[in-house]
Structure 1
Amino acid sequence: MLYAALIGILIAIIITIAVFVVKTFSSPQKVDSLGKLIREGKIQQAQRTAKSVLAKEPRNYVAHYWLGVAYMADNKPELAYIEFKTVDENAIFNGDIPEVEFRKQIGALHQKYNQTEDALRQYLLLTKLDPSNAEHDYNVGKLYESQGKAPMAMGFYQKALTVDKRMGKAHTAMGYLLFRSKQYNEAKKEIETAIKFSPENYSNYYYLGKIFKECKELPAAVKAFEKAQRDPSYRQKALIEKGSCLMIANQVDQAQADFEHAVQLSKNDSSNESLYARYFLAACYEKNRLIDKALEQWNIIFKKNRQFRDVSAKLSQYKDLQTNDGVKEFLTASRADFIELCKKITREGLKLECQKIEPTRYGCAVLATEAKSDSWMNVRQQLTLVEYHRETEPIEEAVVRKTVDMIKAQGHAKGIICSTSQFSAAAVKFAENRPLVLVPKEQFEKVLAKIGL
């Protein structure tokens, strides 16, 4: 009996030792297999194996790391982030975990979840662990730039270029910082270098166009923005910038086409790009006397953002179009119809005879005489200069002064300025005691009513 009991105890001890040995050596074998399983695409099996190890050894940080890698491969970055943070806080990097690759992965996840300081810490470590990789210096520069630390960012971009002088995106980043600090010549050199090394990166042309625009080199800017449109993510912005250059060059019709295209590309009607596209499109419509279309764009903008630039003021300026058909017709008539309308106003509203009429930038100018009668047949008629202004902004003194000078130079008897807007106080004062009659908005509406408008 005693012998049998001793045999039983011995067997139990041997089994216990065997279980311990199996457990001791099986966990490392399981952990060692995790990388191989992931490389073979056996992601779910790798996750199950890692979880099995961690159920027995919660502090096995190598298993935590490979579980995080498996989660990344399974498109579950939020779970990977939890595992990687556990590794970062606890693991000792002795070769079992590939430190450089790990810090690249967790750094990217810190950025993804807007943990800028944590990301910066990882990338700064990488610049020391892997100094021959310019990508780490570039990432540090981008993070400093996002924090508004331009000098620090510039330093790391320059460091990246000492490691890899052909790194196009570092040249781009430096060019953008130089552009923001108004160092346009230096910025241009960096962007052109970026284009040389990364010709497929068409976004560089967008920044090159911005530089040309600031330097008033409009033809070069237009060409650059045309190339920038090849990048879908920059297409709308490039169209807006190109259109604004064409507006500056007074090529309103071409600008209008670009802004219409930019509006069509809009994926978010509340975005700044979309609002600016509509705002500039409305400006083109206004210049082309397509006021109804301009109002449509201003109303869309106003619904999205009531504080956007001067849209509220524009809607207020043109509010009479909603209630006064005469003002609406005067402001929106085509050029040919407008000329005929001005002839009618001159003849029926002002009781003058048109002798000559020509379009102008502000509307049209008429040379007229008093209406003829039998008693005046042998009397030489004196000319009156009548200007019709299709404006919404107040007419300033400089405009009035120019008209008075023209009346004197041409020897006209007097002048009349009719406008759908008001006259500034300085303009009104200047016209006093001079051969010029100012007809502001309210009085002009009465003239329009007199002829049935």
Structure 2
Amino acid sequence: MDPVLLLTGIVIIIAIIAISLVVSSRKSGSKRGGKQKNRSQIIKEASRKLAQDPHNPDGLIALGNVYFNEHNWEKAYQIYDTMLSIAPAHQEIDPFTAALRQGICALKLNKIQDAFRGLPAAYQINPSNFDVNYNLGLACYQNKEYDKAIPCLKKAIVANPEATNVNAPLAMALYKAHHFKESLAFLRKALDENPDNKEALYSMADAMQECGYGEKAMKVFMHLRPDPEFGARSCLSAGIIHMNSNQYEKAMQDFEIGLRHQNIPQDLLLEIRYRYANACFATKNISLGIMQLREIQAINPSYKDCGQLLSRYSELNQNKNLQIYLMSSSSDFVALCRKIVLVYYPRSVVKIQDISVQPDNVEILLTVDSNKWEDTEIFRFYRTTGSVGELYVRDFQAKVSDTKADRGICFTAGVYTEEGRKYAEGRPIDLIQKDGL
């Protein structure tokens, strides 16, 4: 083939391709310009109609479609709120669309109460529609009406089983309505859809704890302890579980980690400190527990029973024997009771005959021999700072009579009720309360 002809053919082909590309580009640009012009024209014509009549249905419908499809919720809300109001007087306006879109726009703008004007109206027209049930369920959920949100969200799933945005709000509504067992299945689905949903993860752990799956719940709480948002709450939950199983040292670690988090809500902060203080007292770290109570009182002086605890443990912190009496092991408590018995009669010979340890008290049967008399006596020690009532005093008197003891002496770190003291009058029993102890 002639090289000149070949070269000429190549040039012609390149020119044809270039011309085609230019024409195609111009057509594409023309289409885009036409589309933009079409939107502008729609807005211009609709605005002109609405300037003449603010309730012009054609103008409202056209403008509403543009703003709603563009997710311009503020402008769309104003349009559909007007359409919802005037729909009964204008057959051109579809009342279902106006009501649904008014509710959706209000929901997007967090105008929850306004959403309840449109969404229930749409529900009355079409109670099986997915968008209606989903958005009405969301509105009820955000309004903390969880029992109303649940049936709507369940109907949304029935209307569209493939929807992936329903499980999370339904799970949280069930959880917050305390339907813990039912919530677990939906919480798992929500986590399958979004594994980073820490709120659903914490809620699932808490629901498992409520349903008796403590070990599984603990694993999740421990995993969440470092989380900036749900870490402090997870530390509190883990600490409570450890406290309930008498693992006080582990509970203290949970609470300490929780207190290291930043920007903790005040109610949560106070609860962590309160639980931490009680864990400290359980492990005999009284000074540290007192410090926590004072931190609480600096924020809220009337929080729970902090005042009573602070008074009680401040005194215990200054009195080692009282600490032993109320907080030590059973063997240390019995040893202290023996010392009290032996020093009660400093100028007599005291012989301990028997020691009986009960869940709420210790009894010591003994003989006392002085130069002038000899007695058999029973000492009972109640390990409480509360009130000891008449029933307990009667029980002690019965024990004194049954053992044919000459006398009974009853100790408590608390007080005796007036009825208990009256019953003891004229009987061979002495009641010694906190001050005497």
Q: Give the deviation of 1:270 after TM superposition.
A: 1.8
Quick check: 1:385–1:412 contact (8 Å CA) kept in 2? Answer: no
Quick check: 1:229–1:236 contact (8 Å CA) kept in 2? Answer: no
Match of 2:362 among 355, 361, 365: 365
The equivalent residue for 2:381 is: 387
Quick check: 1:431–1:437 contact (8 Å CA) kept in 2? Answer: yes
The equivalent residue for 2:302 is: 307
The equivalent residue for 2:204 is: 205
1:276 aligns with 2:276: no
Q: Any stretches of 5+ residues in structure 2 without a counterpart?
A: 1-31, 52-58, 85-91, 193-199
Match of 2:411 among 396, 402, 418: 418
Closer/same/farther in 2, CA of residues 124 and 333 from structure 1, 3 Å limit: closer
Q: Give the deviation of 1:188 after TM superposition.
A: 4.7
Closer/same/farther in 2, CA of residues 429 and 110 from structure 1, 3 Å limit: farther
* Equivalent pairs, count: 371
Aligned CA RMSD, in angstroms, stands at: 5.2
Q: Percent identity?
A: 18
Match of 1:191 among 183, 196, 206: 183
**1:10-409 alignment runs, 5 A limit:** 29=36, 83-86=75-78, 88=80, 106-111=105-110, 115-121=111-117, 134=130, 137-147=133-143, 149=145, 152-164=148-160, 167-169=166-168, 171-173=170-172, 175-176=174-175, 179=178, 187-200=179-192, 201-209=200-208, 211-212=210-211, 217=212, 220-221=213-214, 223-228=216-221, 230-231=223-224, 232=227, 233-244=229-240, 247-248=243-244, 255-265=251-261, 267-268=263-264, 270-271=266-267, 273-318=268-313, 320=315, 325=319, 329=323, 334-335=328-329, 341-349=336-344, 351=346, 353=350, 355=352, 365=362, 367=364, 369-370=366-367, 382=376, 384-387=378-381, 389=383, 391-404=384-397, 406-407=399-400
Closer/same/farther in 2, CA of residues 410 and 173 from structure 1, 3 Å limit: farther
SS in 1 for 2:379: strand
Q: Give the deviation of 1:439 after TM superposition.
A: 1.0
Q: Give the deviation of 1:155 after TM superposition.
A: 3.1
Q: Give the deviation of 1:164 after TM superposition.
A: 4.2
Q: Give the deviation of 1:136 after TM superposition.
A: 5.2
SS in 2 for 1:369: strand
- C-alpha separation between the residues in 1 aligned to 2:106 and 2:34? 29
Which range is displaced more, 153-162 or 202-211?
202-211
Q: Any stretches of 5+ residues in structure 1 without a counterpart?
A: 1-24, 34-49, 51-55, 73-79, 180-186, 445-453
Cα deviation 1:367-424 (Å, max 9, x = unaligned): 2635666899xx8x735334152x3322334444454455556665544332332122
Closer/same/farther in 2, CA of residues 102 and 400 from structure 1, 3 Å limit: same
Quick check: 2:408–2:428 contact (8 Å CA) kept in 1? Answer: yes
Closer/same/farther in 2, CA of residues 397 and 190 from structure 1, 3 Å limit: same
Quick check: 2:131–2:156 contact (8 Å CA) kept in 1? Answer: yes
Quick check: 1:228–1:234 contact (8 Å CA) kept in 2? Answer: no
Quick check: 2:133–2:156 contact (8 Å CA) kept in 1? Answer: yes
Quick check: 2:141–2:169 contact (8 Å CA) kept in 1? Answer: no
Quick check: 2:355–2:362 contact (8 Å CA) kept in 1? Answer: yes
- C-alpha separation between the residues in 1 aligned to 2:389 and 2:266? 36
Q: Give the deviation of 1:162 after TM superposition.
A: 1.8
- C-alpha separation between the residues in 2 aligned to 1:269 and 1:370? 61
TM-score (norm 2): 0.61
**Counterpart residue type for residue 207 of structure 2:** L
- C-alpha separation between the residues in 2 aligned to 1:261 and 1:268? 12
Q: Give the deviation of 1:127 after TM superposition.
A: 6.8
Closer/same/farther in 2, CA of residues 428 and 234 from structure 1, 3 Å limit: farther
**Counterpart residue type for residue 296 of structure 1:** M
TM-score (norm 1): 0.60
- C-alpha separation between the residues in 2 aligned to 1:58 and 1:267? 50
Q: Give the deviation of 1:305 after TM superposition.
A: 1.7
Cα deviation 1:150-191 (Å, max 9, x = unaligned): 553343133223224575335524533653xxxxxxx35522
